[in-house]
Structure 1
Amino acid sequence: MNNIKNATKYLFSAFFVLIALSLSACFSGSNNSKTTTDEPVVIAALSVTSSAPADAQTGIGTNSKVVAVFNKDVKSETVNETSFTLQGAGETSVVGVVSYDSATTTASLKPSSNLSSMTVYTATLTTDVEDEAGDSLVEEVVWTFTTGELADTSAPALDVAGTTPKDADTGVLRNVKLNIVFTEAVDPVSISAQSIALKTDDTASTVVAGELSFINPTTVVFSPDADLAGDTLYRLTLSDAITDLAGNTLAVTTLGFKTGLKASSSPLAVDLGTAGNYVLLAKTGISTTGTTDILGDIAVSPVDSTALTGFNETLDASGTFATSALITGKLFAANMSPDTPAILTTAVSNMETAYTDAAGRTLPDFTELGAGEIGGLTLDPGLYKWGTGVLVTSDVTLNGSSTDVWIFQIAEGLKLQDGKSIILAGGALPQNIFWQVAEDVTLQAGTTFNGIILGKTAVNMNTGAVFNGRALVQTAVTLIANDVNQPSE
């Protein structure tokens, strides 16, 4: 996925949850409370979510155009030859036509002549680019790529492995969203209702109405406006109007699938068992530096209290828990009182069972969405699966009701870039969002995260990150001056 250098910094307001509750038996009997009167406010900054050619990509055809995808619509007049430039090493700026396509929120730069071969090119978007509210990129977005020896003459094709549903699939959910993946970046202006059409397998049928979302230069999602008919053959047709960035034409491509009788609904929530009594639960340690502020109980097991570092905790006279000025709640470890080790052993077991449950859910609604780059997307409730890591380079919105559930199955790591946020809309609640992550979770400085992390390895929260949910991990949690809030269930 793209690694846009000097990514836009985030203008955000701290996200707090309005909480006025007494911690009771559900959270091991703490009598303290923490309140705030701030309403949740998260402002999505204008940013670039992906580009083509991608940063550091090599072997690019000399006849390629350059595109950048924004996380929201921008003012077309701010995307011009001054704000979007391309320059080869040791050369003057490339002369070309700069344009903006609102339907796909993409800027394009088409050189007037072929680029030089075997040359490093630097693309730049300046802070002159503004969204419709008048907010600009906070700093320049810069990325590089290297051309090959020749022009690109190879036609793009459908990536059959990444596209879902697949050809000849049966029992497809009636509310399916089609995830269309290409073998290379395609020209955003070639993606339209005329170039991508879904119909029943009948030449006389009408095209299914729906919305096309240009996720990144290789991925398009088609969302039908209404559930498809049950037990019906459908055919997706990609026309030869679709081209790659060099203008090579896609051969007309079709795939067919048959719906079943069911439509997906929110998956069942993951049962956390007694692991849900803790805002942070880890097997090898929890550490903090700086002014961390935690609402909820934390625990480590099977390690002892020496694995709780930076809290300057005081053991209670009962010996069953400790307290700290950094925590509105209690600290527990496996060497506290005769009963605590058994309680924590059960909680850790429940945590591991919850991880296995989340990882084992089948029939995902989305597979490999955005090739792991989900920045800028609005995600409906459902089950999402990636065989890679997931990167958030601009704000992601989870839109649903207070009873809707999201489960994210991530085979590698999860990372939020500086200042980026997981935003909840429509009444969605962090306790109904489950992030099952097989490798490290990294929340960069100033990020805001919502949901339950079920982690196989570590969770690292960098300076100023705000965490609303629970981190239940099978190694360690590292904090640096963070606000950590358990869900107000």
Structure 2
Amino acid sequence: MVAGLPTQALAIATPVPLATAAGFSVLAGQGVTNTGPSVIGHDLGTHPNPAISGFPPGLVLGAVHAADAVALQAKADLVQAYNNAAGQATDFALPAGIGAGQTLLPGVHTAVAGVGLTGDLILDAGGDPNAVWVFQIPEALTTASNSRVLLTNGASACNVYWQIGSSATLGTSSTFVGTIMALTSISVTTGTNIEGRALARNGAVTLDTNRIFLGGCATGGTTTGTTTGTTTGTTTGTTLGLIGGTLIGGPSVNLVGGGTSGNVAGNTSGNTVGNTAGNTTGGNTSGNSAGNTTGGSATGGNDGKPDHGKPDHGHHEGPGKPDHGGHGEQAGGHYGYADKPTVHEG
């Protein structure tokens, strides 16, 4: 008979899905207050209280979301993440006092009351870069001055989560690792650094000359860019074809009689043929008697002189409609289509 050796229970801790809250280094419910030159590596936000003070001298390297829609969504995602962490099944009991060189393996570590951290706490991944720690603390978390959370054998701060049932207070000049998800508030005292996040559901986050960064953790978040350009060009010309005798993009120009061959040949080259002999072959039978001799309506027509009393009865646009399309500039600022100023369209 071979005696069985005791084995460690299989750790069941799984990464906590932070969703959009992953992009925040600091997130609060009742505002963020800072003293001194703190540096926040990613986004800072608060909702519903928009109060943010102490920046500057503090510096936020990400975006600031003061009670906006982004902060609202991140807070909703934080609630889901908090509940996920709190609902994971226990692997190990977590004593009220931790640190002093203590080593903890991956898994879900559950306390029955508040926890105090003194000295060094070592998290050992045993060579597994995907190892996860979830700490379930139903009351407060307090760390002593100069205390440290240390990572070894492939452990990553991205996979360490602290679910705190009330508030967290980190002692002066301490080093902390992991994402803090506190139900109430978080106080990060003078000189303390966090490789992770400080996320408070309902209370405030207080900072004092701290550095909070995410290392190589994926930050998730929302789309940060918007469409920055619009269509810069518009249609600058009109279609010069004819559909059913109508010019597209301009007024109705219903052609009568010989308009098809007269205007195609005449207008294309400035009515050179039609207007030379009084529009005889261009379709405008009566013409303008020897006006339009060289240019036709396309190059000025009528020598640029208005003919107010003599409409062209030989080429009407329709019954009772004189053809003003061949005129040059007229008194009162009116223009023929060929000589219209470029600022006019149609």
Q: Sort the TM-score into its range (normalised by shorter chain).
A: 0.5 to 0.7
Q: Counterpart of 1:331 in structure 2: which amino acid?
A: V
Is the 8 Å Cα contact of residues 372 and 388 (structure 1) preserved in structure 2? no
**What's the TM-score once normalised by structure 1's chain length?**
0.42
Is the 8 Å Cα contact of residues 107 and 133 (structure 2) preserved in structure 1? yes
Give the match's secondary structure for 2:173. Answer: coil
Is the 8 Å Cα contact of residues 269 and 405 (structure 1) preserved in structure 2? yes
Is the 8 Å Cα contact of residues 387 and 411 (structure 1) preserved in structure 2? yes
Displacement of 1:391 in angstroms is 0.9
Give the match's secondary structure for 1:370. Answer: coil
Is the 8 Å Cα contact of residues 26 and 40 (structure 2) preserved in structure 1? no
Indicate which of 295, 306, 309 corresponds to 2:53: 309
Write out aligned runs for 1:292-441 (5 A).
Answer: 292-304=38-50, 307-312=51-56, 326-334=59-67, 341-362=68-89, 364-367=90-93, 369-400=94-125, 401-441=128-168
Is the 8 Å Cα contact of residues 297 and 331 (structure 1) preserved in structure 2? yes
| Displacement over 6 Å in runs of 4+ | none
Give the match's secondary structure for 2:181. Answer: strand
Matches of 2:86 and 2:36, distance apart in 1: 34
Give the aligned partner of residue 256 of structure 2: none
Matches of 1:283 and 1:427, distance apart in 2: 34
Matches of 2:110 and 2:95, distance apart in 1: 11
Give the match's secondary structure for 2:20. Answer: helix
Matches of 1:343 and 1:331, distance apart in 2: 10
Q: Counterpart of 1:272 in structure 2: which amino acid?
A: L
Is the 8 Å Cα contact of residues 114 and 137 (structure 2) preserved in structure 1? yes
Matches of 1:480 and 1:458, distance apart in 2: 15
**What's the TM-score once normalised by structure 2's chain length?**
0.59
Is the 8 Å Cα contact of residues 394 and 421 (structure 1) preserved in structure 2? yes
Matches of 1:426 and 1:417, distance apart in 2: 25
Indicate which of 161, 165, 173 corresponds to 1:446: 173
Identity of aligned residues (%): 35
CA distance 1:375–1:437, change in 2 (3 Å): farther
Displacement of 1:432 in angstroms is 0.5
Displacement of 1:375 in angstroms is 3.6
Is the 8 Å Cα contact of residues 293 and 482 (structure 1) preserved in structure 2? yes
Displacement of 1:325 in angstroms is 6.0
Report the count of equivalent residues.
214
Give the match's secondary structure for 1:402. Answer: coil
User: Is 1:476 aligned to 2:222, yes or no?
Assistant: no
Displacement of 1:397 in angstroms is 0.4
Matches of 2:141 and 2:193, distance apart in 1: 16
User: Is 1:488 aligned to 2:216, yes or no?
Assistant: yes
Is the 8 Å Cα contact of residues 266 and 406 (structure 1) preserved in structure 2? no
Give the aligned partner of residue 189 of structure 1: none
User: Is 1:268 aligned to 2:14, yes or no?
Assistant: yes
Displacement of 1:431 in angstroms is 1.3
Unmatched 5+ stretches in structure 2: 218-346
Give the match's secondary structure for 2:76. Answer: helix
Is the 8 Å Cα contact of residues 419 and 446 (structure 1) preserved in structure 2? yes
The structure that is helix-richer by fraction is 2
- How well do the aligned residues superpose, as a CA RMSD in angstroms? 1.8
Is the 8 Å Cα contact of residues 266 and 404 (structure 1) preserved in structure 2? no
Give the match's secondary structure for 1:343. Answer: helix
Give the match's secondary structure for 1:384. Answer: strand
Matches of 2:143 and 2:193, distance apart in 1: 12
Displacement of 1:443 in angstroms is 0.8
Q: Counterpart of 2:138 in structure 1: which amino acid?
A: A
Unmatched 5+ stretches in structure 1: 1-203, 210-223, 228-262, 313-323, 335-340
Determine which structure has more spread, i.e. the larger CA radius of gyration.
2
Q: Counterpart of 2:22 in structure 1: which amino acid?
A: G
Q: Counterpart of 1:366 in structure 2: which amino acid?
A: F
Matches of 1:270 and 1:296, distance apart in 2: 19
Displacement of 1:371 in angstroms is 3.9
